[in-house]
Amino acid sequence: MATPTAAIKTLGCKLNQFESEQMREQLEALGYRIVSFETAADLYVINSCTVTTRTAHDCRRLCRRTKRLNPQSLLLVTGCYAEVSADELEQIQAIDIIIGNAARGQLSQFVAPTDTTPTTDRLPPYAETGPMIRTMSGHTRAFVKVQEGCNARCAYCIIPLARGPSRSVPAGDVIDQVNLLLAAEYPEIVLIGTHLGQYGADLGEDIDLTGLVRKLCELPDLPRLRLSSIEPREMTDELIELVAAGGRSLESDSSRPGWGKLCRHWHIPMQSGCDEILQRMNRPYDTLFYRSLIEKIKSAQSDTAIGADVIVGFPGETNEQFEQTRTFIESLPLTYLHVFTYSARPGTAAARMPDQVPGQVRKQRNHILRAISERNRAAFTEKMVGKQLEVVIEEFAEASSDNLSAITDNYLRAETIGPEELVGNVAKMQVTDAEGAVLRGELLN
């Protein structure tokens, strides 16, 4: 009998991507061969997202379309949309199985073992967040989930309903997971979590995110470590100094822990540049605090990239309040923005608020801030010309004159020339030119 096949489609964030890898390795252990989602398969798994109405819509449309590839297949839907809106998915006849987030680590309970003999080479549990993984299929850089869930109650956010309260992965488990991925020779590890800055608060151990970062930077085989999004109130002076000391393009100083391993890159949600809107969002800071934080980071290391999330069209946001956000953003040394058009999510406080902003107005505001983001990224990129930066080589394009695509430690796209064998390696690049938001340069020996 032919080996049964399975295909996985991931919607949404880096957490979902990590969790899809956990499911992929479970399915392989059960005897499935993983194939492309665009081909006929015996089992389809959709790892859903529900952060906006668009992602929920995309999931429903994908479910209806998928079964056409193989009407006899089994379709399983999991993820955050399945967690909070299973009743909506139950209306789609094409779906065979719906499971929540907690069940993703036990797929064997929902997908019967195949006729192929399952492997007994299973990785150990990864705290309560599912099994560890050996690889990140299709990724040059590997994600490691160190925290799950959120205790905050931002007025617009459905994620606490989908992922529950904050839980941290014990440091020993994190180190074991990182070492597994380092054994597969990943050049960069990215720490991810729903509320990353809350790491360690629930463990009953004397450790926080800074302590975890220090432990990981002590691993001799770790080439590079990057942090994903961290809330403004959870940034510490110690962590800011540690990141500022992490750029390999700086002169080495062995007295600073983590030197040369920690990427000079922050992503710090802002959500609004208007204090009235921040208060209605139930965000625990104001614009004065946020400005001080950004300026502190830039003062510590001027080549550090800083990204921010911003929501436009929050209920009641007037033209004047949006202008406050626009001018506030333009006054800050931000590298880029992730701009989200407000989307009402059932069960959140904001969905019940009056004065919902018309959709067309929200879209216009989104375009305005995206244009600012493009200008800021291009300006920051231009400042890197003439400098030496560390890059991870991610892709090789044989038909391109600049055939290697890379990402710098301060989160810029770079292109250079070199052999395909360099893909998946760390290298140093002399930046010679910038075109828009893309650097070009020469690799150094």
Domains detected in the chain? 5-109 (3.40.50.12160), 142-383 (3.80.30.20), 388-444 (2.40.50.140)
Task: Categorise residue 413: left if φ over 0, alpha if ψ from -120 to 50, beta otherwise.
Answer: beta
* pTM exceeding 0.95: no
d(CA 114, CA 30): 7
d(CA 264, CA 29): 38
**DSSP strand E in 363-417: where?**
388-396, 404-408, 413-416
- Give burial (CB, 10 Å; 0-12/13-18/19+) of 445: exposed
Q: What is the pLDDT of residue 129?
A: 58
CA dihedral 53, 54, 59, 65 (to 10 degrees): 130
Helices within 30-78 (DSSP H only): 53-66
Question: Which residue is listed with tokens 């946001």?
Answer: 317
Residue 232 contacts residue 260 (beta carbons within 8 Å): no
Please name the residues in contact with 250: beta carbons below 8 A apart, sequence gap of 6 or more: none
Burial string for 129-156 (b: 16+ CB within 10 Å, else e) reads bbbbbbebeeebbbbbbbbbbbebebbb
d(CA 47, CA 52): 15
3-class SS of residue 318: coil
Pairing status of strand 388-396 against strand 404-408:
antiparallel
pLDDT per residue as tens, the chain (445 positions):
688 999 999 999 999 999 999 999 999 989 999 999 999 999 999 999 998 888 999 999 999 999 888 899 999 999 999 999 999 999 999 999 999 988 888 888 888 766 655 544 444 444 455 678 999 988 999 999 999 999 999 999 999 999 999 999 999 999 999 999 999 999 999 999 999 999 999 998 899 999 999 999 999 999 999 999 999 999 999 999 999 987 333 344 444 344 479 999 999 999 999 999 999 999 999 999 999 999 999 999 999 999 999 999 999 999 999 999 999 999 999 999 999 999 999 899 999 999 999 999 999 999 999 999 999 999 999 999 999 999 999 999 877 888 999 999 999 999 999 999 999 999 999 999 999 999 999 999 7
